[in-house]
């Protein structure tokens, strides 16, 4: 005879009830064995009590625990230190001080000459020096305290093999206030191009 398997749908309640039934049967079996071995009469009320205590435990989903925790964090009042200061709009569309191109150009040239003036080109060292130079130039330009200008610094270092190279960039900005400054340094084995972009932020 051929038996066709019947589809069975499992749910949390069915799994819990089956596990409770298995637990009750095993507890009854243990009590019967212990009673036959010791010769004493053991009531089955202990198994029923253990089953009742197991089934009365409530299940709490992890999502609900996380939700309660996140709600408690959001409901926590902010301290005076956590509040951000509100800044009113000044409605000023032009900078009080224009971008100092001459000072920035001197900063770029001096930084490149100090670190790359006598440097021999190696790919591993120059890849590290480009990051170090961009951070150094950016720190010195920020020291000029140029208000309302966002700064971007790029440094390109390459080896010299009698080749031609053109570094180009394209941006969407205000031609009246936004600007960029470039300086170039080279020696017998390498060249370096440093560029600082100043974008006015209203």
Percent over 90 (pLDDT), the chain: 35
In terms of phi and psi (left: phi > 0; alpha: psi -120 to 50; beta: otherwise), the region of 126 is alpha
List the structure tokens of 81.
């230190």
Look up the CATH number of domain 101-200: 3.30.1140.40
pLDDT band at 201 (very low <50, low <70, confident <90, very high): confident
What is the predicted pLDDT for the residue at 81? 59
The mean predicted confidence, pLDDT, of the chain is 75
List the structure tokens of 99.
């971008």
- DSSP labels, 79-121: PTTTSPPP-------S-SS---HHHHHHHHHHHHHHHHSSPPP
Mapped onto helix, strand or coil, the DSSP state of residue 37 is helix
Mean pLDDT across the stretch 117-141?
A: 92
- DSSP labels, 136-156: HHHHHHHTT--TTEEEEEEEE
Query: Is residue 185 packed enough to be buried (19+ CB in 10 Å), middle (13-18) or exposed (0-12)?
Result: buried
Task: Provide the whole-model pTM.
Answer: 0.56
pLDDT, one tens digit per residue, over 19-29 is 555 555 554 44
Kindly list the domain boundaries of the chain, sorted by start residue. 13-54, 101-200
Mean pLDDT across the stretch 43-64?
A: 55
């Amino acid at each position: 005879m051929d038996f066709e398997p019947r589809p069975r749908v499992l749910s949390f309640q069915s799994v819990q009830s089956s596990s409770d039934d298995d637990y009750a049967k095993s507890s009854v079996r243990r009590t019967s064995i212990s009673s036959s071995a010791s010769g004493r009469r053991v009531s089955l009320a202990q198994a029923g009590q253990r089953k009742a205590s197991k089934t009365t435990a409530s299940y709490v989903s992890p999502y609900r625990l996380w939700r309660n925790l996140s709600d408690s964090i959001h409901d926590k009042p902010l301290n005076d230190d956590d509040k951000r200061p509100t800044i009113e709009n000044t409605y000023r569309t032009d900078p009080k001080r224009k971008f100092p191109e001459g000072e920035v150009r001197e900063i770029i040239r001096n930084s490149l000459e100090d670190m790359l003036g006598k440097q021999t080109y190696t790919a591993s060292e120059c890849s590290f020096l480009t990051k170090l130079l961009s951070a150094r130039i950016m720190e010195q330009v920020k020291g000029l305290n140029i208000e309302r200008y966002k700064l971007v610094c790029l440094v390109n270092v390459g080896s010299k093999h009698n080749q031609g190279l053109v570094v180009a960039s394209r941006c969407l900005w205000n031609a009246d206030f936004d600007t960029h400054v470039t300086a170039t340094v080279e020696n017998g084995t390498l060249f370096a191009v440093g560029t600082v972009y100043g974008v006015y932020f209203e």
